[in-house]
Amino acid sequence: MSSTQLKQANALSPREFARWMWRQLTSMRTALLLLLLLAVAAVPGSFIPQRSVDFRAVDAYFVNNPKLAPILDKLGMFNVFSTPWFSAIYILLMVSLVGCILPRISVYAKALRARPPKVPKNLSRLPAFVEFETEASPTQVVEAARTVLGRARIDVVTADDGVELSSEKGYLREAGNLLFHVSIVVVLIGVAIGSLWGYRGAVIVTEGDGFSNALSNFDEFGSGALFDPESLVGFTMKLDSLDAQFHVTGPQRGSPKHFRANGTIKTSQDADFEDFAIEVNKPLEFDGAGIFLVGQGYAPVIRVTDPNGDVVFDAAVPFLPMDSSYTSTGVVKVPDAAGEQMGFQGFFLPSSYIPGPDKPSVSIFPAPLNPRIGMNLWVGDLGLDNGQAQSVFTLNTSNLTQVKDANDPEKNFRIDLGVGEKAELPNGGTFEFVELRKFGRFQIADTPMMWVPLLGVCLAVVGLMGSLIVRPRRTWVRARRVGSRTVVEIAALDRVPRDDLPADLGDFLEQVQGELESEQVGKA
C-alpha cells in the first residue's frame, strides 16, 4: 500500500452547507432555470380551463372527459396558478432574483466610485490602436482628448516621460441590466399583491334577472389568502337584454361578431339605478372593481307540472355551450313532483337541423334560428338531501333510473320540443318549453395595485433599451515627449465586442487632431 494516505474530505458543517445552498439558489443560472420552470409550469393553465377564469368550461371538461378530469383535478390542473407547487416556484424565483441583484448592486456601486483602469504597458496589443506625432505638448494632447471624451469618467496620471489618460464610459449599461432584473421582481411583487388581496368571481345572469355583489350570490368565487370579504364593492345590477350577433357569410360564418349586455345598476343603497352597457373588452369599472362580459348562452324557460297539474318547476335554465355552434348541455332538477324526484338532462340546439334519416339533430348556426330542446328523464334520488353542494350544470345519476319509452321499452324516453311546445311525461305530468332567453356570464374582479406590475413592465423596457443601446468602452491615451515632438498612442477596448470599434477609434483620432489644430490656430 502506498505511503500516501487518502484523506476523506471533511463534511460540511450546517452553516457551511446553508451558505453553499444560498449561493446555489442566488446564482444567475438558478434564476434563469427557475424562470424557465415557471414558464413551463404555467403551460397547463393555458391549455386546460381554469376555475378562476371560466368555471363553465371546467364543468364542460368534466362532462367530456369523465375519467381524465378527476385525475387532473387532484393534480390541481384546474387551479394551476394557486397550487402549492406553482407558488413554491414563484417564491423561489423571487428569492433567487433578489439574491442575485443585491450583490450586483453592491459591486456596481463600488465600480462607480473606482478609478478607470490604468493604461496598459503595451497599447499596440489591443484590438484598436493608432499612433501619431504632433508638435503639441503632452498636456495639450490629454486636454484635447478630455474634451472629445466629454462625460466619460477620466483619470489622468502624469509620468516622468509624459502624460497618460484613462477613461471609461457606458456604466449605464450595467444599470440597465440591473433595472431589468429589478423590474422582474417588481412585476412578481405586483402580481403577488393582486393574487393575495384580490378576488375574482363569476356569475350567470339571465335576461330579466339581477345580481347583487355578495359572496353567496356567486356561481364561482376565488380570492387571495389576505382578501377581506368586507372589501367587496356593493352594487346591484339587473340584466335587461343581451345582444348577440354572429357572422352570417364568409370564412368567419358562425363566429361571434358583437356581444353587448344592457341593463341598469346602482352602486350603493342610496344611489339610483343607472343604465349600463357592457361589451367584450369594454368592462364597467367603478371603485376599483370591474364587471366583464366574458360569455353568453341560452336559457330556455322550462315549466314542469306534476300529475295533479301543479307547477313544480318554472324557471330559466342556463345551458352551457359546448362548441362554436352553441350546442349546449343543461340539467333540470325537480326535487318534489307529487312525491317523486325527477332529473332531466339533455341538449339545446339554437339552429336545429336533422342531417338525414336515423341521424341525431345538430346545430348548424349559433343564432336561435330553429331552437329545440332534447331531454332524457331520470327518476329516483337526486341527492339533494344529503347536505352536499351540487353543481346546477351536472346530474348525478348514481341513484337515479332512466325512464324508458312506454311504446318501445328498448328505447329511452326522450323529450324533443320547440319554443311553445309541451310534452306529456310518463307519470302524467307535463314538460313545456315556454320561451327562450339569453344569459350573460359576468366576471367581477378587483386586482389591487395594478399599477405595480405595469410599472415593472415599463422599467423592464427602459432597462432593456439601456442594456442594448449603451456601449461600455475603455479608451487610453499616452502622450510622451520624444525630442521636439510628442508621440501619441491611443487604444480602445469594448467590454462588449463590436465590429465598429476601429471606425470609432478613427473618428476619435480625427476629433482629437481637430482639437489640437484649433488650439494651435488660436495661439497663432
The β-bridge partners of 166 are 155, 476
Residues 145 and 136 sit within 8 Å (Cβ to Cβ): no
φ and ψ at residue 171, rounded to 5 degrees: -70, -20
Q: What is the pLDDT of residue 239?
A: 94
Mean pLDDT throughout 427-436? 92
Q: Is 358 helix (H, G, I), strand (E, B) or coil?
A: coil
Q: What is the pLDDT of residue 7?
A: 46
- Is the pLDDT score of 1 beyond 80? no
Q: What is the pLDDT of residue 522?
A: 58
Mean pLDDT throughout 185-213? 90
Q: Is 29 helix (H, G, I), strand (E, B) or coil?
A: helix
Rounded CA-CA distance 454/524 in Å is 60
- Is the pLDDT score of 6 beyond 50? no
Domains along the sequence of the chain with CATH: 15-110 (no CATH), 116-170+471-523 (3.30.160.110), 199-446 (no CATH)
Mean pLDDT throughout 142-159? 86
Best CA proximity match to 467, nearest among 108, 30, 25: 108
> Average pLDDT of the chain?
86
Residues 328 and 346 sit within 8 Å (Cβ to Cβ): no
Mean pLDDT throughout 16-41? 87
Q: What is the pLDDT of residue 2?
A: 46
- Is the pLDDT score of 459 beyond 70? yes
Q: Could you tell me the pLDDT band of residue 389, with boundaries at 50, 70 and 90?
A: low
pLDDT 10s digits, 314-360: 999 999 888 889 999 999 999 887 778 899 999 999 999 888 777 88
φ and ψ at residue 224, rounded to 5 degrees: -75, 165
Range with lowest mean pLDDT among 6-10, 62-66, 147-151, 308-312: 6-10
pLDDT 10s digits, 72-107: 888 888 888 888 888 899 899 989 988 888 888 888
pLDDT 10s digits, 393-409: 788 888 889 999 888 88
pLDDT 10s digits, 289-307: 889 998 899 999 999 998 8
Return the higher-pLDDT residue of 234 and 54. 234
pTM (2 d.p.): 0.69
pLDDT more than 90, % of the chain? 31
- Is the pLDDT score of 260 beyond 90? yes
CB count within 10 Å of CB 454 equals 13
Torsion of CA 286, 290, 292, 298, to 10 degrees: -80
What angle in degrees, to the nearest 10, is found between the helix axes of 171-197 and 84-113?
A: 150
C-alpha angle with apex 216: 212 to 219, nearest 5 degrees? Answer: 85
Which three cell numbers mark 12?
Answer: 460540511
Range with lowest mean pLDDT among 18-22, 268-272, 456-460, 467-471: 268-272
pLDDT 10s digits, 127-144: 899 999 988 888 989 999
The continuous run of DSSP H or E covering 473 comes out as strand 473-482
- Is the pLDDT score of 447 beyond 90? no
